[in-house]
């Protein structure tokens, strides 16, 4: 990891970049590239919920068994993200179930906030980074794309590993997760009031990154009034 760039240091505010958005909108790709650009650590918070969900299933418990899910959330090992089973479509759908449990969200809160509070700054992506985890982040992006574009992206990603991947099933899963994530009582998927929306439907990865970088540079370079 390199040192934060002069552009960040000159802004005199902690370079915390919060990226939220629905499934397969490209937030992880943008988070990874922004982190590399600024030399910041990156946390994909969706992996936390995926790890809890896979842990609950491996335990033989139901996905709405809150005490089991909370215990697993509290005991996630440091290398939790290394498990390839977290990257499947099933793990994403299961993650959305445990993510609706308030106790699970509470159990994962401190670790996410601690990551965001690293002195040099950080990049986090998820569903509630700009609204709950880092409400004071100076740079918030809400990344969207049409459900069809997102299903196509996820299909290409999963089909490379799983010949049985189905575009129609992925589209249905994305629509269900959008609805479930946006309608849950705790930390629903909603843009923060001060997030900048970035629709990547007609942007390729490089185009989306160029747009995201321009937005973040503007936000980090110009402290908001009163901050
Ligand atoms: N703008 C884009 N155009 C085309 N494909 C993209 C774009 N952004 C991301 N992807 C691809 O779409 C898939 C999902 O992207 P990812 O960043 O993992 O999304 P998210 O983190 O929002 O779920 C990945 O295979 C990624 O390479
Ligand atoms: N900060 C976060 C991140 C993920 N999640 C949940 O975890 C699920 C999986 O998140 P993810 O980011 O790994 O999913 P994708 O967008 O990569 O498909 C989401 O559908 C959300 O329900 C959340 O509630 N809050």
The predicted structure's pLDDT at residue 161? 84
Residue 149 forms part of a structural domain: yes
pLDDT, one tens digit per residue, over 181-221 is 999 999 899 999 999 999 999 999 999 999 999 999 999 98
By residue range, what is the domain housing residue 180? 12-218
**The token pair that represents 76 in the structure block:** 């996630």
The answer to the question of residue 6 being in a domain is no
Evaluate if residue 94 carries a pLDDT over 90: yes
pLDDT of residue 151 exceeding 90, the answer is yes
From the CA of 111, the nearest ligand is 2
114 in any annotated domain: yes
- 97 torsion bin: left (phi>0), alpha (psi -120 to 50), beta (else): alpha
Residue 2 placed within a domain:
no
Distance 38 CA to ligand 2 centre (A): 24
Give the percent of the chain with pLDDT over 70.
92
Does residue 1 lie in a domain region? no
224 in any annotated domain: no
Q: Is 205 in the pocket of ligand 1 (CB under 6 A)?
A: yes
Confidence of residue 92 (pLDDT cuts 50, 70, 90): very high
Per the structure, the count of domains in the chain is 1
Predicted complex: ipTM over 0.95: yes
User: What CATH code is carried by the domain that includes residue 179?
Assistant: 3.40.50.300
Cβ–ligand 1 distance for 204 under 6 Å, the answer yes
Dist. CA 59 → ligand 1 center (Å): 31
Q: What is the mean pLDDT of residues 131-137?
A: 96
Instruction: State whether the beta carbon of 150 lies less than 6 angstroms from ligand 1.
Output: no
């Amino acid at each position: 990891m390199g040192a934060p760039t002069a552009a960040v240091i000159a802004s005199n505010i902690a370079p915390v970049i919060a990226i939220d958005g629905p499934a397969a909108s490209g937030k992880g790709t943008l988070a990874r590239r922004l982190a590399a650009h600024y030399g910041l650590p990156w946390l994909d918070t969706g992996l936390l919920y995926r790890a809890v969900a896979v842990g609950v299933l491996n335990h033989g418990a139901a996905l709405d068994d809150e005490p089991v899910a909370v215990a697993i959330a509290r005991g996630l090992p440091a290398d939790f993200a290394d498990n390839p089973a977290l990257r499947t479509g099933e793990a994403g759908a299961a993650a959305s179930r445990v993510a609706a449990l308030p106790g699970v969200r509470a159990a994962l809160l401190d670790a996410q906030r601690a990551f965001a509070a690293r002195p040099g700054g950080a990049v986090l992506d998820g569903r509630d980074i700009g609204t709950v985890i880092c409400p004071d982040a100076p740079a918030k992006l809400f990344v969207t794309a049409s459900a069809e574009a997102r299903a196509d992206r996820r299909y290409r990603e999963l089909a490379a590993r799983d010949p049985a991947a189905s575009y129609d099933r992925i589209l249905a899963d994305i629509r269900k997760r959008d609805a479930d994530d946006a309608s849950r009582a705790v930390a629903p998927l909603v843009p923060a009031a001060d997030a900048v929306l970035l629709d990547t439907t007609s942007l390729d990865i490089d185009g989306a990154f160029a747009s995201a970088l321009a937005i973040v540079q503007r936000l980090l370079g110009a402290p908001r009034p009163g901050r």
